[in-house]
Structure formats: C-alpha cells, structure tokens
C-alpha cells in the first residue's frame, strides 16, 4: 500500500466509525461522492487544505488521517530495495551476456585448433 492508499483507508475507517456516508461527507466538504471514493481508494491525492476540511467534517484531528511515519518509511525502504535489486539483476545480466559472448568466440577457435591438432591422421600423412 502506498501513502495515499493508507490515508484513504484511515479516512474510510474514520468515516465508517462515525456513521457518515460518502455522499454526506462529500456534500459537507464540497466534493463529489466519486472524489471521496477515489480518495478512500488511494487513487486521488489530497491537499493539506482538503485534509483539514475532511477532518473537520469528521470531527477528528487532521493528524489522525495521516499514515504513521513508519508505514511511509516502509514503503520508501521497499522502493529502494526494488531499485537495488533491479540494478543487481541488470548488472548480473550484463555479466552473463559478456561471459556468454566473450568465451564463445575464444572457445570456438580453441575447439577448432584442438580438433585439428588432435584429429587422427590418416595413414598416408
């Protein structure tokens, strides 16, 4: 889950706890119901001003709708791990390609030399 998905989950839970529908919240803060649904799904970001309006309509502190820092750090750490793994995979693939291409030409020449020098000679040679 990314930051906005977590924020949306907190908003949805807070709204549900208070028995407020998306339609009622949307009319109180001047947004469409589909915008509330998008925010709760994490598909739409929110400004600080909008977050404060939502919190006021729900009668909660704005900070209660913001995901805890450790959740955000975990996502950032996950992204960094994926980037690092991606770089390692890319470097590993390049190494394999280089090993595959380099020895191929050399080993073919060696095999040819080895075959011609160790090939059985005919009786007339």
Domains defined along the chain, listed by start:
3-65 (1.10.260.40)
Give the predicted TM-score (pTM) of the model.
0.56
Residues in contact with 9: Cβ distance below 8 Å, sequence separation at least 6, in sequence order: 1, 40, 42
Task: Report the mean per-residue pLDDT for the chain.
Answer: 79
The pLDDT of residue 80 is 73
Helix axes 48-58, 3-17, angle to 10 degrees: 20
Over the stretch 42-84, which tens digit does the pLDDT of each residue have? 999 999 999 999 999 999 999 999 888 765 567 677 777 677 7
3-state class of 42 per DSSP? Answer: coil
Structure tokens at 91: 């470097």
Q: Which residue has the higher pLDDT, 57 or 116?
A: 57
The pLDDT of residue 56 is 95
Mean pLDDT of 119-125: 52
């Amino acid at each position: 889950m990314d930051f906005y998905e977590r924020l949306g989950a907190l908003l949805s839970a807070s709204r549900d706890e208070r028995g407020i529908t998306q339609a009622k919240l949307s009319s109180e803060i001047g947004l469409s119901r589909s915008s509330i649904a998008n925010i709760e799904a994490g598909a739409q970001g929110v400004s600080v001003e909008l977050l404060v309006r939502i919190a006021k309509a729900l009668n909660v502190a704005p900070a209660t709708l913001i995901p805890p820092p450790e959740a955000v750090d975990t996502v950032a750490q996950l992204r960094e791990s994926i980037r690092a793994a991606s770089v390692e995979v890319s470097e590993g693939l390049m190494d394999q390609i280089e090993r595959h291409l380099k020895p191929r030409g050399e080993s073919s020449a060696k095999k040819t030399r080895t075959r011609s020098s160790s090939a059985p000679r005919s009786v007339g040679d």
